[in-house]
Amino acid sequence: MIREYMKKAATIAVALTCSAAGTMAQAQPSFGQNGCGSLPGNAALKTALDMAVSTEASGLNNQMWATIVDRDGVVCAVAFSGINRGAQWPGSRVISAQKANTANSFSLDASSNSGGSGQPHGLALSTANLYSAVQPGGSLFGLQESNPVDTGVAYRGPSSNYGTAFDPMAGQKIGGVNVFGGGLALYATTAETLVGAVGVSGDTSCADHNISWRVRNNLGLDHMANTSGVSGDATRPDNIVFDIAPNINGGTGISAGGFGHPMCLNTTNNYKTLPVVSK
């Protein structure tokens, strides 16, 4: 009788273990189930970020966070440039993921063009390009409220894994919309295909944009020479735009083209000399 009871208990325990494992597998999709397998991982992102931070000294010259997401918004990699996770603003970890999600969510490639609609070579919008459009009276006012961050993904522990290859956001959809500089879409070599985005945060939003631009270039994922943008510079289609003039009636300044971004502390003209995008 006791032996029979023990056998049943063991069977139940195995079933519960398998069920729990199955639930965890569903909650934590492997990289083989998303587009992260073809995108840079933590080590490559950190190398590209370190190089960009050492090159760019605008803004406050801070250390930075960076996040890559795939085309579905799944976080592929998170990295930081400092000596530990506290060497850059802790709040910027999630902001970098928001920026990556935003740039990915509101950029397109040539696959958008069909049936007489869409963009023949895609349309790249950096998070910097969205600033003016989401201000009161702007054509995209309210956009920043449309896709909230999944806080269950953003603040999962343990914190000791933040910014490492085991960052708890990795493999999860982060969500979020951020509307100032630092997020850029990633375009691969094959037919300028949009494969995801990178987000950078930790300094002024202008410096974030510049560093994100250098990270994308360092990763070789800026193959968008024919892609449309709103910057007015065909060689840098989704570059930051500084065309906001004071509003004589007060309140938010007015962007001449509708996609302007405010100037930041210690902003230089190097945004005009950032690396041109690749073919």
Give the pLDDT of residue 191.
Answer: 75
pLDDT reported for residue 20? 41
DSSP codes of every residue in 80-124: ESSSSTTSS-TTHHHHHHHHHHHHHHT-B-GGG-BTTBS-TT-B-
CA 155 – CA 203 distance, rounded (Å): 21
pLDDT of residue 32: 55
What pLDDT does residue 189 have? Answer: 86
User: Could you give the count of Cα atoms lying within 13 Å of 245 in the half-sphere of its Cβ?
Assistant: 5
> How high is the pLDDT of residue 21?
42
Q: What is the pLDDT of residue 74?
A: 97
198: which residues sit within 8 A by CB, 6+ positions away? Answer: 45, 66, 67, 68, 100, 103, 183, 184, 186, 212, 215, 216, 219, 221
CA within 13 Å, CB half, 148: 3
242: three-class secondary structure by DSSP? coil
pTM, two decimal places:
0.87
Residues of the chain with pLDDT under 50: 1-2, 5-6, 8-29
Measured CA to CA, the distance from residue 39 to residue 198 in angstroms comes to 11
Q: Where are the domains of the chain?
A: 1-31, 34-272
**In CATH, what number does 34-272 get?**
3.30.450.150
**What CA–CA distance (Å, rounded) separates 115 from 105?**
22
The whole-number pLDDT of residue 33 equals: 59
**pLDDT for residue 145:** 87
Q: Determine the Cα angle at 274 with ends 271 and 278, to 5°.
A: 140
Instruction: Give the tokens for residue 239.
Output: 């570059």
Q: Which amino acid is at 102?
A: T
> DSSP strand E in the chain: where?
65-70, 75-80, 183-187, 194-201, 244-245, 254-255
